[in-house]
Amino acid sequence: MTRMMTTNARTTAGRIAAPVGVAAALIGTLTGCSTATTAEPPADQPAQPVDASYRDGMYLADGGYESPNGSETITVEIELTNDIVTGVVVTSNPTNPTTANFQSKFADGIGDIVIGQDIDKLDVTVVAGSSLTGNGFREAITTIKAEALVG
Amino acid sequence: MVGPSSFEAIGTPWRIGHGGAETPVGSLGAALAPDDLTAVLERIEQFDRDWSRFRDDSLVSRIAREAGSWRLPADARPMLALYEQLHALTDARLTPLVGASLERLGYDAAYRLTPSGAPLPAPSWADTIALRHTVEGITLDTVAPVVLDVGAAGKGYLVDLVGDLLAARGVGDSVVDASGDVRVRGERSIRVALENPADPTKAVGVVELHNAALCASAINRRAWGNGLHHIIDAVTGLPVDQGVIATWVVADTALVADGLATALFFAEPVRLAEAFSFEWVRLTSDGRLDASPGLRGELFA
């Protein structure tokens, strides 16, 4: 299990300045079906709270969804300040390596990047990204995927 | 079909072509003569036999099995000197002593790709290895078995060594492309697409390269699970997770470009520029693309 702060999520949450109702909807969107909400507010609350419906603090929600590989879960942690979402941490709990790969892409925010131009329309000599993997690595990944299907 | 020489070595595809200024931009050039290609493959094989932790008979694998004094090959000096610099500039987060951390996470010679326990921080350089420079060359003294991993700069260095070898054999106009690490020598310029790690059909930019090397590093391909990829923070033993997802560096040599491309996952460009002259591009997970002002090329952000 890893925890990653997703910059995208934080930016979006901050920008919409969502009241808690919207935050709950956001949790629902992220997790499919939200099953639990627990609050661990800081011990020393401000003496004169502003017009807030919920206490400041960190809120946790676990969600499940059905992937082609079976049931998977994801945990979303939201920080509320004056009913405003000020932080979001998404924790994925994959049970399957294939899902893990997709979830980590989601959690890294890699899946959201759409910038660029089509390489085959550019007049270039060489393409430089991460090195293509060799046969050994590819075979190992294939084996893991096959085992995951059986399991 | 006329085209560059292509083969797979050290776990990645290679392409090598030669040709002068008249070579079309979309071509790497012509294939090497058979004896030049044979010499190149032998040079790569020798480097692999010395430095690969993925083969049992390598020098690195012997160093991983027992402590001792190890005579290092003649090509060790520039590479280890670079590692010493990057080790200091990244506050020990980049080190060749990260091999056991990678094995713990599953990136081992058997490609288990499954973690075998809690993340393992790399041992400290000063406590683990000592380099002695003698008239015969460099000797590595270890007090315990240690798993060396030269993944951060080794492939770029090998690109340099292959180009050196070709130049010594009279092939001065060459492009050596080790899948993401490329060096061009001679009269011609080449154009290098910077691959979007989220979509390999797209480029986030194009860089012009003349008598220089460009190396790329990204976390999208050598990844094997939830947040597990091959760029390890030696201090924590965990894959680095600071928002950088891809880097590109242009420098005079592929050794320096490759090492810096990895170092940019751990250190700000301004700090690395204290010690090195280079141009850079950096892509972060929020889709932001940064580059040095002197970069020759264009970005499509």
Is residue A126 assigned to a domain? no
Q: Domain spans of chain B?
A: 65-142
Higher local confidence (pLDDT), A90 or B40? B40
Contacts of A114 in chain B (CB under 8 A): 198-199, 202, 287
The mean per-residue pLDDT over the stretch B125-131 comes to 88
Q: How high is the ipTM of this complex?
A: 0.73
d(CA A130, CA A132): 6
Q: Is B13 exposed, middle or buried, given 0-12, 13-18 or 19+ CB atoms closer than 10 A?
A: middle
Query: What residue type is A2 in one-letter code?
Result: T
Identify the band that residue B222 occupies on the pLDDT scale cut at 50, 70 and 90: low
Contacts of A116 in chain B (CB under 8 A): 196, 199, 202-204, 300
- pLDDT value of residue B26: 87
Between strands B199-218 and B181-196, the pairing is antiparallel
Indicate the residue of A92, A111, A134 with minimum beta-carbon distance to B226: A92
Q: Report H helices in chain B.
A: 34-51, 59-65, 76-89, 99-104, 125-128, 154-168, 254-263, 269-272
Burial label for B57, CB within 10 Å (0-12, 13-18, 19+), is exposed
Q: Retrieve residue A52's tokens.
A: 């807030």
Q: Is residue A143 part of a domain?
A: no
Interface touch B227/A135, C-beta < 8 Å: no
The counts of H helices and E strands in chain B are 8, 16
- Structure confidence at residue B51 (pLDDT): 93
Whether A110 and B228 lie within 8 Å, measured CB to CB: no
Segments forming the whole domain that contains residue A29: 2-115
- Ranking B155-159, B226-230, B297-301 by mean pLDDT, the lowest is B226-230
Task: Give a yes or no: residue A150 inside a domain.
Answer: no
C-beta atoms of A94 and B177 within 8 A: no
Asked if residues B271 and B89 have their Cβ atoms less than 8 Å apart, the reply is yes
Highest mean pLDDT among A19-23, A118-122, B21-25, B83-87: B83-87
- CB contact under 8 Å between A130 and B201, yes or no, is no
The DSSP secondary-structure symbol of B173 reads S
A118 close contact with B: CB closer than 8 A:
yes
Q: In total, how many domains does chain A have? A: 1
Higher-scoring residue by pLDDT: A101, B71: B71
Residue B5's identity, in one-letter code, is S
Check B196 against A116: CB less than 8 A apart: yes
Taking residues B280-299, what's their average pLDDT? 89
CA-CA distance, B52 to B179, in Å (whole number)?
18
Whether residue A127 is contained in a domain is answered as: no
pLDDT in tens, A61-112: 655 555 555 665 655 555 566 555 555 555 555 555 544 444 444 444 333 4
- The pLDDT score that the predictor gives to residue B135 is 81
Number of A:B CB contacts under 8 A? Answer: 195
Closest CA to A20 of A28, A10, A31: A28
Q: What mean pLDDT is reported for chain A?
A: 50
